[in-house]
Amino acid sequence: MKTNLKLTVVLLLPLAILYSSCEKLLEIPPSKNQIESGTVFADSTTVNTALLGAYYTLGTVHSSMKFISLYADEYNTTSSALINLEYANGKLLSNNTNNNTLWNNLYSVIYQCNNLLEGIESSTGLSPAAREQFSGEGKFLRAYAYFYLVNCYDQVPLLLSTNVTLNRSAFQATTDAVYLQVVKDLTESSNDLQEGYLGAGRVRANKTCAHSLLARTYLYRGKWQEAISESSKVIQNSVYQLTTVKAEDVFLAGSSEAILQLWMVNGFLTDVAQLIPASPTTLPIYPLREEFYSGFETGDQRKSKWTALANVNSAGQTRVYAYPAKYKNRVASTAKPEFAMALRLSEQYLIRAEAKAQLNQISSAVDDLNLIRTRAGLVPLNQNLSQENCLEAIFKERKSELFGEWGHRFFDLKRYAKLEGIMAPIKTSWKTGTSEVFPIPNNEIIYNPNLKQNNGY
């Protein structure tokens, strides 16, 4: 891979912004901007620094998620930029720079984790406890990255080392093989990671993080009982609370619903300024689609707390645009800092509800679903639902609860076989058999002739 080649000799870590922020969080002393991969694992401090590089890169992946929402039926765009219009219209070109960035950043996380795991294996300066924790974090982050690669691109190279000779000519692995590796990494990390969080906040992976992503993975693979088991481990952990958190406080740093957050400098996400307009009369760049916004039930607090309206005057005409407002901070905030939410508790209830419904455990599934609805200020559903109606209710609840977060809506449309029916009428360039996955970036195809482009690109 092109990205991997660039990183073979030296592990490039983020610049001063990473070090200044992470020192405050985890009290890691300053280090060089470049750390030789052969010496990075001399002790816990240097391993920490390498790990923070991987977390930082995962934060850049989060910045790409708005484009997946734009590709789905959640967001629209008022931008005339071609790279945005391709997402809005449902057909990407293989040289789309936003798509290239997503691919490259995911593989950058993977390279950093591979480098970390190899270094830990050969290090003599780590205690057994530190070795397990750091190894668990590396495997968790690698699994997180591969989960998104397989769901966005389907068959992708499965790179598990830093060997550039192998990586630069790697073939694509099957979907099953990638998922098997995700499960393997998460299972091993759930054994290695500690129960509590390392350092302040909820910004480093722990055992519950592994169980959470494993629950989601099992759900996607149709392993219902396993999904119930893993999500229940999370739900039963009293560290995480759902009903005690107000909707407007869910995404604050340290939220009791947070399972994993990505630390953000000065308590705000830089791309929020692209989602929230500068004033209530400024045109949003990524407004919610009208059909999506109107789909919230009457009285749903997620509509009133997680969206907002802009009244835009143009040529004497005022038009109202709804836009996503889960995150509120357009600028730095110390009073109410926000971190990017990577995993949260409500998803685990939705995972367990869906898995139970698939096993026809309807009453118990509705119980889980109603906890989400109650927090949103909605009337509980009747437990006498049919299996079909229960699954449809869960699908709709996921839409309202998880919109704009980490591609959930796009992936759900695929899982529920609703993609074509919903997307084709609203996407002018939608092409069945092609648009279900993103193109492999063209420069990667040129660099590695063993890669096969996805159908139709």
pLDDT, tens only, 321-333: 999 999 998 877 7
Say whether pLDDT at 31 is over 90: no
Q: Mean pLDDT over all residues of the chain?
A: 90
Q: Assess contact for 137 and 205: CB atoms under 8 A.
A: yes
- Residue 307, strand partner residues: 324
Question: pLDDT > 70: what percent of the chain?
Answer: 91
Question: Across residues 210-226, what is the average pLDDT?
Answer: 99
Angle at 400 (CA atoms; ends 398, 406), nearest 5 degrees? 65
pLDDT at 25: 29
Say whether pLDDT at 282 is over 70: yes
By CB atoms closer than 10 A (0-12, 13-18, 19+), residue 271 is middle
pLDDT at 18: 35
**Integer Cα distance of 147 and 183 in angstroms:** 10
Place of tokens 């006498």: 384
Q: Assess contact for 5 and 12: CB atoms under 8 A.
A: no
**Integer Cα distance of 434 and 206 in angstroms:** 37
By CB atoms closer than 10 A (0-12, 13-18, 19+), residue 306 is buried
pLDDT at 37: 52
pLDDT at 333: 79
And the tokens for 390?
A: 């229960």
pLDDT at 271: 82
| 350 Cβ contact list (under 8 Å, min separation 6) | 368, 369, 372, 394, 397, 398, 401, 402
Q: Give Cα 264 distance to the centre of its chain.
A: 15
pLDDT at 14: 37
DSSP string, 113-131: HHHHHHHHHH-SSS-HHHH
**Integer Cα distance of 74 and 407 in angstroms:** 10
Among candidates 337, 285, 280, which has minimal Cα distance to 312? Answer: 280
Confidence of residue 231 (pLDDT cuts 50, 70, 90): very high
Q: Please, where are the H alpha helices in 65-157?
A: 65-71, 82-89, 97-122, 128-153
Q: Tell me, what amino acid is at 35?
A: I
pLDDT at 8: 33
Question: Across residues 51-75, what is the average pLDDT?
Answer: 96
Which CATH code for domain 2-266+339-405+439-447? 1.25.40.390
Q: What is the pLDDT of residues 93-115, one digit of tens each?
A: 999 999 999 999 999 999 999 99
Q: What is the pLDDT of residues 338-374, one digit of tens each?
A: 999 999 999 999 999 999 999 999 999 999 999 999 9
Radius of gyration of the chain (CA): 22
Q: What is the pLDDT of residues 114-156, one digit of tens each?
A: 999 999 988 888 999 999 999 999 999 999 999 999 999 999 9
pTM of the predicted protein model: 0.91
Domain boundaries, the chain: 2-266+339-405+439-447
Place of tokens 């030789």: 36
Q: Assess contact for 265 and 359: CB atoms under 8 A.
A: no
Using CA atoms of 257, 262, 268, 270 in order, give the dihedral in degrees to the nearest 10: -130
User: What count of other Cβ atoms lies within 10 Å of the Cβ of residue 6?
Assistant: 14
Question: Across residues 229-248, what is the average pLDDT?
Answer: 93
Using DSSP's 3-state secondary structure scheme, residue 61 falls into helix
DSSP string, 415-435: HTT-HHHHHTTT-TT--TTTT
